[in-house]
Chain A
Amino acid sequence: MNEYTIEIDGLKIDVESGQTLLNAAAAAGIKLPHLCASNRMGYPAIGSCRTCLVEVVGETELVAACNQQVFPGLSVLTNTDRVSRVRRLALELLEAETSAEPTSGHRYSEFSQLLDGNDARLNHFSRTEQRPEVDASHSAFVFDPGACIRCGKCQTACRDVQSNGVIGFAGRGDAARVTFDADVKMGDSSCVSCGECAQICPTGAIAIKQSANSRDRSKIDRVGETVCPFCSVGCRVELQSSDGRLTHVDGADGPANHGRLCVKGRFGFSFLNHPERLTTPLVRREGIAKSEGQSIQGKNILDLFRPASWDEALELAAKGFERVSQNFGGTAIGVLGSAKNTNEDAYMLQKLARVGFRTPHIDHCTRLCASVPPLAEATGLAAVTAPIDEIANSDVVLMVGSNPDTNHPVASSVMKNAFRNGTKLILIDPHIQPLSRYAHHHFRIAHGTDVAFFSAMTHYVIREELFDKAFVESRVEGFEALRDRVAPYTLEVAAKLCRVNAEDIRSAAELFAGARGAMSFWGMGASQHVFGADNIRAIIALALVCGQVGKPGAGLHPLRGQNNVQGSCDAGLLPDYLPGYLDPRNAFDRSKCNLLWNATIPPDRGLSIVEMFDAIIDGSIHGLYVVGGNPSLSNPNLNKSNEALSKLEHLVVQDIFPTETAMFADVILPAAALAEREGTVTNTDRIVQYIAPAIEPPGDARPDWEIVRDLAVKYGLHWQDRNVENIFAEMSSLVPCLEGFFWRDLVSKGYMRYPLESSNKSSNLFAKAFYRGKKALIAPLDGGQISEQTDANYPFVLVTGRVREHWHTGSMTRKASVLDSLSPSPSAHLNPRDFAKMQFFEGNFVEVKTRRGKIQLAAVRDPDVMPGVIWVAMSFFEAAANKLTNDRIDPTTRVPEYKFCAASVRPIRK
């Protein structure tokens, strides 16, 4: 980049070319006045407020700093009498059009500050007499048109940055104003509550209802940054608090979000202050049985448990595991971690399991959505080949069984930015979803027919020789077998199986194969099947055959679930992998760990979550340590899981809330939330982010790694001196992709992407070779079939999923008041045709039943759902969808079948 100096009021500053004067000045620490501009990514100059005008030496007219590109020799004056007067007048005019008592947030806004700073008073201009009605119809925001200066920034925020397109700027002249959709109230609009508008609004005219009154900077005593604890996008967040209570949340400039947030990140943090947070260790009271169906709802937890000191609780926890180990051996202990925690937490926990308890049975909830193993099988690296933002270089995108707009909203905004710029989307999803409107092709294939679909595309590109021959020859292994496997799948065969149009498959195949760069994304719609691994293999095979890996705009990207799935897997929180994906069954791999840890770890692959529960029922597992997971709600076939939990001899639950699972515990240990502690997390894009505590933990709650360390000490291990820094150093010595990572670099830079060599040049991997070698592997399929068929008794297909407002089992988001009011209750979604057939009415209570259980909830008419399908969100304990789901698992990924089971539905009176 070109560098030179420019002059601002006689002061020479160094700038890089390609910047606006406003941003260049800001980078040099000179803050020029502005309102409608922002230096955040995706905000172009609007030019409406006219408060940034400056004099450019040699020009007669004043120039807007937000639109002026820097150039060598540029010299500007920002405080001449002329500039000051014009700026003051421009500000006074804006002030004159706001009404006398705008909302209180207004007082602390950028606009008010600029008015004060420029001595702008209503000298000559009279204020408007109109007092437009405040729109308070939305449960999360207020819009006060009387405070609005019509700068248009919220429209950019909503349309161009987040690509939600709800906010418009309608009308002419003095009637120009902010509108929602086709001029409806904000609460009735298609707003998805990401809050970008409220964050960017310079006047507070659009503000967050709950924190509009707490924006007074002087009252904020702590501002800290952390990473969002919900999805794997890994958005950076700024938390403002006062007296230890969270008052406001803003998006911070992180590598993945560039200041953006979604509804969960924006409003989800209020669980931090929830009164039900665990603040002290708890021990089950004498004589209280662990009975199935115990619910914490409406129950005083102190009826079941008594408070204890940390020392006593840890002692009891350790004793219990010792007892199990003595009676049945270490392998009778299971450990369940969570992908919500830090890398250090994950590493410590798996080490305690393997070294302390000497059990291989360690797993975490990634299992429930894992979509990566087939990728590791193909490339040798269990991580995405290209980050989400590579999509900006793609001309085609394949998206399978994923609904990022709901589940990874900020990633979706980046994708939608690309679609609006002309990237073509091939969407494969039975449901209509928010990205459907951007899709070039949307294939609503019949449930469970993914393999046939991709096989047909692959068959077609091979037969028509559209595939990338050179790439296949030099970079792919298993092509011949693939060619033979897909041979039966003509377009017509697939069209019939998938119930889509053959012509469309052909056109999509041509589009994908012909793209200069095409990225492939997949999500849980592909993986959460008993043949999920096969679905993914079929996608990968197509991409490899077309050479759509390792070049600009191309890549394979499984959209991961929890915020630290990547890091937890890297750290070895898995039954089949040690840290760095070393294989416990391989003596060489094992010896690496044994040497470093001075231990003898079990030489086996452990049981996965679902298998552990079977083992509890079988009587081979007797003790369970659950850290941050909630299997009572997240496991499939809940009734069975709860039976297992009540059978356990010793259960220790460590969490921030008394979860459904904790009700079965012997000891409950209160953990600090992610925002309350220090550590590192790794997002779906392979970016490792450092976080420092942003707010105080409540009561005696402590970081997970610390609790695990102290439990280990009680268990007889000499881990007293472990801290986050030396844990990280030990971990990175075992994990190859963390090679070259040092704690102090992470602390100072805030984040680093692995692998390090490529992060300098390109974040897109495998241009020359794969991790496993020069060639990627096209693996054969396991050939699984749908495990359960519909029949006369269970004529519907039940599909589970998520709503935008809630995360996972809702243990955090249901406790965030705004989120809960945006999405308060569970519902069963059915196609209007089925609605009519079953003679349901909107809001009718229905019972949804499968061969495993039943739940009751309201029925909703939803044209986005295919006929014959019932769609239920998983985040509601009132109607826990996983009472219904099937616990059959995929043989490769051991992921259960959440996305398909046979069900019936009938109306009930309530």
Chain B
Amino acid sequence: MRNPPELVDERERRAIQDALASGRQRDRLLEILLDVRDAKGGIGISKSGLMFLAEQLRLYPAEVYEVATTYPSTKFVSPTPAVEKAATDLDSEWRVAPAKSASFFGGLVDGSNGSTPPRSLADYRESGGYEILHILKSDPTAADDLMQKVAALNLKGRAGAGFPVARKWKQAKRSAGTPVVVVNGNEGELGVFKDRFILENEPHAIIEAALVVAHVTGADHVFIYLQDEYKFAQSIFAKAVAETMQAGLAETVTLDLRRSGGAYICGEETTLIASLEGRAGRPTERPPYPSEMGYKGRPTIVHNVETFFRLRRAWGAQSDVEIPVSRLLDPNTSLFSVTGRVRNPGPKLMSNLLRLVDLLDLAGGLSRGVELGGMVVGGSCGTLISAVDCERPLPDLVQNGLTLGTGGVFVFSSKDDRRAIAFEMAAFAARESCGKCGPCRIGSKKAMETLVSNGPLDTVLIDELSTVMAEASLCGLGRNAGRFLKTLPSYFGDPQP
């Protein structure tokens, strides 16, 4: 090395060495950076610390630098990314007061979900939890039966795309190598917190289901990957995982609790896997699908938190009136994340939703003095729905192509600037683009730039951007953003309802 590492501050050096004490494998790189950050009171590793760490792990400094700069949760001080800067510059030009980024779609403040404390292991087992593991262990045919049951119930993934669960397992079993199971609790979508609701209430339901998937597919490793900002859920899981292991329920499986890199893209499965391996946070093209070749080349089954939760239906788990979240065991019940101009935003369980406006009642009605302007359904890449359409029967909208995605519902008033909302959505894509592929990296920025202007919508430009983003982007982020843009001309073309 031509440039000798600068001297590392003694405190930081100790923090790094402590972080290394729990494992020096390269795949823990993100965890190590997060540990150092925590030891430094929320301040990311310094550049000299980074060089020192690279030397300790025998990695190229460039590799560590990449990891530190592609995961925002590392809080590594790097030159301000251009888009983030652009977004703040634009802040001042906003014409509508409520359109402030963080509070706009509204998340929930950490640790205040207002629901009951998480169910303990004892209580969970009391009601029959983890029984299935005994059955699977003692009865060699049970695993196959269960798999058939999952296929027969036609259980689908809840991350948005609705991919059949059983098919993923089959792919993994067919592929070479010992499978790995991942609970995807990244939940990075704007204004969506349904997974958090589940995680904070029923940790053992998730752990049990993940262990079952491991058993059925022959996996020996389960990663529980939680959004870095979900500190409360993390503490719940740290305890729950320890209890599970102590109780001897996970003897043949390693349960690995990991924190996310703090970006939306970390929830994309190939990026998630990259972060588990200590590599830079960007997707790789599929195929190969993770279920064929994922974590360290092994077949990797990634499911959303809610998918794991609902899986328990296959072995007869019942809902319990004491435990509201358990209503999700009913396939006709959905979990919405309602935000915006309502009195009582939050996670809402709803069975057989007929019209979108019906959600308003669950959320305590519209805020005082507000007239409904419409809703955004499905998060940052979702669909803008007019107030009129919110009154229409939901099945009609679905027939016209509406997808509920992960159930994010943002309610806006008739006074809110719809253009600013669309801008906010495009800005989210630009901010969260990983920067790997041209269509998304450049297209999302251009879309944001054109939406910020006051003039008439440049429909030709929007059409070009949406086409190239939706058709050519490498991963779902850019593609979905493109699809969202595609809906804008017709939405804004309509007369104000």
- Between A and B, 24 residue pairs with Cβ closer than 8 Å are A47-B437, A48-B474, A50-B437, A50-B438, A50-B439, A50-B474, A82-B471, A89-B467, A93-B446, A97-B438, A125-B442, A130-B82, A150-B435, A150-B438, A152-B436, A167-B62, A171-B69, A172-B70, A173-B431, A173-B433, A173-B445, A174-B430, A180-B62, A190-B3
The answer to whether B442 touches A97, judged by C-beta atoms less than 8 angstroms apart, is: yes
Answer yes or no: B301 CB below 8 A from chain A CBs: no
**Contact: B439 with A172, CB < 8 Å?**
no
The one of B50, B72, B285 in contact with A64, judged by C-beta atoms closer than 8 angstroms, is B285
Taking CB atoms and an 8 Å cut-off, the chain A residues in 105-158 that contact chain B are: 124-125, 130, 149-150, 152, 155
Seed contacts A94-B438, A171-B69; 4 additional CB < 8 Å A-B pairs:
A47-B474, A50-B472, A96-B446, A183-B47
- Docked-complex contact A166 and B60, CB < 8 angstroms: yes
In angstroms, how far is the closest chain B Cβ from the Cβ of A178? 10
Write the chain B residue with the least CB distance to A188. B3
What is the CA–CA distance of A166 and B437 in the complex, to the nearest angstrom?
22
B63 and A165 contact, CB distance less than 8 A: yes
Q: Which of B430-474 contact A (CB under 8 A)?
A: 430-439, 441-446, 460-461, 464, 467-468, 471-474
Which chain A positions have C-beta within 8 A of B8? none
The reply to whether B432 and A173 contact each other, CB–CB distance below 8 Å, is: yes
Pick the contact of A53: B78, B280, B287, B472 (CB < 8 A): B472
A172 touches B69 (CB 8 A): yes
Query: A795–B416 Cα gap in the complex (Å)?
Result: 84
List chain B residues, Cβ under 8 A from A5: none
Are B60's CB and A159's CB within 8 A?
yes
A82 surroundings in chain B (CB, below 8 A): 471
Specify the chain B residue showing the minimal Cβ separation from A149. Answer: B438
**Given the contacts A50-B438, A171-B81, A182 and B58 also touching, CB distance less than 8 Å:** no
Residues of chain B contacted by A181 (CB below 8 angstroms) = 3, 60-62, 65
Q: How many whole Å from B481's CB to the nearest CB in chain A?
A: 12
Q: Is the CB of B460 within 8 A of A89?
A: no
Closest to B50 in A: A182
- CB contacts (< 8 Å) of B433 on chain A: these are 172-174
Q: Is the CB of B473 within 8 A of A50?
A: yes
What A residues does B467 contact at CB under 8 A?
85-86, 89
Q: 1/0 per position for B42-80, CB-CB distance to A under 8 A?
A: 000001001100100010111111100110100000111
Within residues 360 to 380 of chain B, which ones have a CB less than 8 A from any CB in chain A?
Answer: none
CB distance from B335 to the nearest CB of A (A): 29
Q: Does B263 touch A at the CB level, under 8 Å?
A: yes
Q: Are A47 and B60 in contact (CB under 8 A)?
A: no
Neighbouring B residues of A438 by C-beta, 8 Å = 58
A168 in the interface (beta carbon within 8 A):
yes
Does B1 reach chain A (CB closer than 8 Å)? yes
Tell me how many residues of B have a C-beta within 8 Å of chain A: 57
Q: In the complex, are the beta carbons of B435 and A175 less than 8 A apart?
A: yes
Pick from A67, A166, A183: contact of B285, CB under 8 Å? A67
Count how many pairs of residues, one from A and one from B, have CB atoms less than 8 Å apart in the complex.
Answer: 173
Complex: how many Å from CA A86 to CA B465?
10
Whether A169 contacts B3 by the Cβ 8 Å rule is: no
Q: CB of A49 within 8 A of chain B?
A: yes
- Which A55-84 residues have C-beta < 8 A from chain B? 61-62, 64, 67, 69, 82
Cβ-neighbour of A93 out of B60, B62, B84, B443 (below 8 A):
B443
Contact with B along A41-57 (1 / 0, CB 8 A): 00001011110010000
A172 to B66: give the CA distance in the assembly, Å. 10
Separation in Å of the B464 CB from the closest CB of chain A?
A: 6
B445 and A47 contacting across the interface, CB-CB below 8 Å: no
B17 on the A face (CB < 8 A): no
State the Cβ distance, A539 to closest chain B Cβ, in Å. Answer: 26
Chain B residues near A182: list those with CB within 8 A.
Answer: 47, 50-51, 54, 61-62, 64-65
Question: B interface vs A, CB < 8 Å?
Answer: 1-3, 47, 50-51, 54, 58, 60-66, 69-70, 72, 78-84, 86, 263, 280-281, 284-285, 287, 430-439, 441-446, 460-461, 464, 467-468, 471-474
Residues of B within 8 Å of A168, CB to CB, are 60, 62-63, 65-66, 280
Expressed in whole angstroms, the Cα–Cα distance for A149 and B437 within the complex equals 10
Complex Cα–Cα for A94 and B442 (A)? 7
Is B285 within 8 A of A165, CB to CB?
no
Q: Identify the closest chain A residue to B463 (Cβ).
A: A124
A86 B3 Cβ-Cβ under 8 A: no
1/0 per residue A179-198: CB within 8 Å of B? 11111100011100000000
Q: Is A792 an interface residue (CB 8 A)?
A: no
Say if the beta carbon of A90 comes within 8 Å of chain B: yes
7 closest A-B pairs (Cβ-Cβ)? A176-B435, A165-B60, A175-B81, A168-B62, A47-B285, A89-B468, A170-B69
Chain A residues in contact with chain B, CB under 8 A?
45, 47-50, 53, 61-62, 64, 67, 69, 82, 85-86, 89-90, 93-94, 96-97, 124-125, 130, 149-150, 152, 155, 159, 165-176, 179-184, 188-190, 437-438
B54, B60, B432 pick with most chain A CB within 10 angstroms: B60
Q: Which residues of A contact B472 (CB under 8 A)?
A: 50, 53, 62, 86, 89-90
Contacts of A130 in B (CB 8 A): 82
B437 x A48 contact (CB < 8 A): yes
Q: Is the CB of A175 within 8 A of B2?
A: no
Rounded to whole Å, the gap between the CB of A44 and the closest CB of chain B is: 9
Cα distance A794–B490 in the bound complex, in angstroms: 88
A180 to B65, CA, bound (A): 9
Cβ contact within 8 Å between A125 and B446: yes
Residue of chain A at shortest CB distance from B473: A50
Cβ contact within 8 Å between A174 and B3: no
Chain A: minimal CB distance from B439 (Å)? 6
CA distance in complex: A841, B47 (Å): 28
Nearest-CB distance from B471 to chain A (Å)? 5
CB–CB A170/B78 < 8 A: yes
Distance from A905 Cβ to chain B, minimum over Cβ atoms (Å)? 23
A96 CA / B460 CA spacing, docked (Å): 17
In-complex Cβ contact of A173 among B47, B61, B83, B439 (8 A): B83
Report if A170-B439 is in contact (Cβ < 8 Å); known contacts: A182-B51, A182-B65, A188-B2.
no
Q: Assess whether B263 is in contact with A159, with CB atoms less than 8 Å apart.
A: no
A159 contact set on B, CB distance < 8 A: 60, 62-63
The answer to whether A172 touches B435, judged by C-beta atoms less than 8 angstroms apart, is yes
- The answer to whether A174 touches B441 (Cβ under 8 A) is yes
Residues of B within 8 A of A64 (CB): 285
- CB-defined contacts of B263 to chain A, threshold 8 Å: 172
Task: Provide the residues of chain B in CB contact with A174, threshold 8 Å.
Answer: 81-83, 86, 430, 433, 435, 441-442, 445
B-side contacts of A150, CB under 8 Å? 435, 438, 441
Known: A97-B442, A172-B72, A181-B65. A53 touches B471 (CB 8 A): yes
A243 nearest CB across to chain B (Å)? 37
A591 to B80, CA, bound (A): 79
- Shortest CB–CB separation between residue B47 and chain A, in angstroms? 6
Q: Which residues of B contact A437 (CB under 8 A)?
A: 58
CB distance from A463 to the nearest CB of B (A): 33
A171 to B79, CA, bound (A): 9
Return chain B residues, CB-CB under 8 Å to A45. 285
Chain B residues lying within 8 Å of A89, measured Cβ to Cβ, are 439, 464, 467-468, 472
